[in-house]
Amino acid sequence: MEQPLRKNTGNNLPFSLTTAEELLAIYGSPLYVYQLDRLSATIKHITNSIAYPGTQLHFASVTNGNVALLQIFKNHGWGIHGNTPGDIYLALAAGFTPDRIVYSGSNLDRDEMRQLLKWNIQAINLDSLSQLQLLVDIYSEEYAKPRLGLRLNFPSLTGASRIGVDPDQFATATDIARQAGLTITGIHFYRGTGTNATQAFIDAIEPILAIASQLPDWGDLDFGGGFGYPYHHDKAAFDWAEFGEILSTRLAKLDRQIQLTIEPGRAAIAGSAVLLARVVSTKWQDQKQLLGIDTTVANLSVPAVHGGYRDIVSWQTSDQLFTTDVCGNTTYSRDYLGRNCQLPRLEIDDIIAILDVGAYGYAMSSHFLHRPRPAEVLLDHHGSHRLIRQREDYSILLNHQIFEEH
């Protein structure tokens, strides 16, 4: 039954077992743990990689809307990229001023578009002529003039996408904006999420600059997010230093100084968090270890439902590793937090850590399967920690329900 595979070297462990035990004893299990040192190091690394003067970095909070974490980005001088009015609402709650918020989203209704103007959001990237027309119809002198941009639809670089404006429509867009005395100065490009191939971004630079120069008043370039994170730790990572150097050098050769914006989501935060969970039951099927843990894909929907991969590690040391399925605490057929992992034999109450859950982790969790969500904790450099989101209890499942008392 036992298959010696590779040694669990412990290299991937996020912190000590003592810390993991302490955190679970205080805050309960399962638990999202964010590591401030990792997050700060990543933010600094990305910031230092782009030397082009005046570059603005905006965290794409679609990946993680925890306000305490957004404030860390603010302290590092970053702004926020909002995909939805909800992203902006959270950014304002975190203390970002409207001039530090970029909106690039899709399909707002009239009230939402008006809300962007009322919030005084200074950079608004639109993804269709119809959204532009809506903004122009609503816009009036009572609002500050937003910096307008167009999200580029560029199938040869990104593959077919529902989002964005074809460059052939730039002239019409410019005319629509002029109806309200507005100018379109921005080009917004989004490569598509999770690309670790640095060259794919580098190859996009020239075509984008060629297209941007067709816009009569071009002065802003938002190079988007989409930068990958190496969830498979032995695979290549996106190379920020290389990308930043090539982009900065190329932009310096333009005939004008532009405003460069970069809005990383996943790349900025994925590696800064782990989800801790405890083993609650064990089972063997032939050679395979089945671990039942006290969390579910609904608490971290990415791995099983959306096809992503996250390393799972434990603090148990053993020369023998076993092919292991890490199973959630429901009977939903896709409730696997990991499949075919290599783990030592674990026992009830042992702790496991699911790595790299900072992006699209809590943000994509849901009440599907009716399990309340975990708490979130911020662990700082010196081992001190604080709660940054409370654990939910069952009462959350009744929120907004209307029914007869019995």
Ligand X SMILES: Cc1ncc(COP(=O)(O)O)c(C=O)c1O
Contact set with ligand X (CB under 6 A) = 60, 62-63, 81, 83, 104, 190, 193-194, 224-227, 263-267, 359
Q: What is the DSSP-derived secondary structure letter of residue 379? A: E
Closer to ligand X by CB, 226 or 361: give it: 226
Please state the closest distance from residue 151 (CB atom) to ligand X, in A: 7
Closer to ligand X by CB, 43 or 343: give it: 43
3-state secondary structure 335-366: CEEEEEEEECCCCCCCEEEECCCCCCCHHHCC
Peptide bond into 30 cis (omega under 30): yes
Please state the closest distance from residue 347 (CB atom) to ligand X, in A: 37
Closer to ligand X by CB, 60 or 355: give it: 60
Strand, helix or coil at 103? strand
Closer to ligand X by CB, 38 or 385: give it: 38
Please state the closest distance from residue 404 (CB atom) to ligand X, in A: 41
Closer to ligand X by CB, 57 or 117: give it: 57
Please state the closest distance from residue 57 (CB atom) to ligand X, in A: 12
Closer to ligand X by CB, 315 or 360: give it: 360
Closer to ligand X by CB, 194 or 338: give it: 194
CA atoms within 13 A on the CB side of 321: 18
What is the C-alpha separation between 111 and 204, in angstroms, rounded? 35
Please state the closest distance from residue 106 (CB atom) to ligand X, in A: 8
Please state the closest distance from residue 351 (CB atom) to ligand X, in A: 28
Please state the closest distance from residue 83 (CB atom) to ligand X, in A: 5
CB contact set of 398 (below 8 Å; sequence gap of 6+): none
Q: What DSSP string runs through 257-326?
A: --EEEE--SHHHHGGGEEEEEEEEEEEEETTEEEEEES--TTTS-HHHHS-----EEES---S--EEEEE
What is the C-alpha separation between 39 and 59, in angstroms, rounded? 12
Closer to ligand X by CB, 190 or 362: give it: 190
Q: Are 353 and 20 in contact (CB under 8 A)?
A: yes
What is the C-alpha separation between 281 and 294, in angstroms, rounded? 9
Helix (H) / strand (E) containing 113: helix 110-118
Q: Are 231 and 308 in contact (CB under 8 A)?
A: yes
Q: What is the DSSP-derived secondary structure letter of residue 201? A: H
Start-to-end CA span in the chain (Å): 53
Closer to ligand X by CB, 186 or 194: give it: 194
Please state the closest distance from residue 154 (CB atom) to ligand X, in A: 13
User: How many CB atoms within 10 Å of residue 253?
Assistant: 7
Helix (H) / strand (E) containing 240: helix 240-252
Please state the closest distance from residue 134 (CB atom) to ligand X, in A: 18
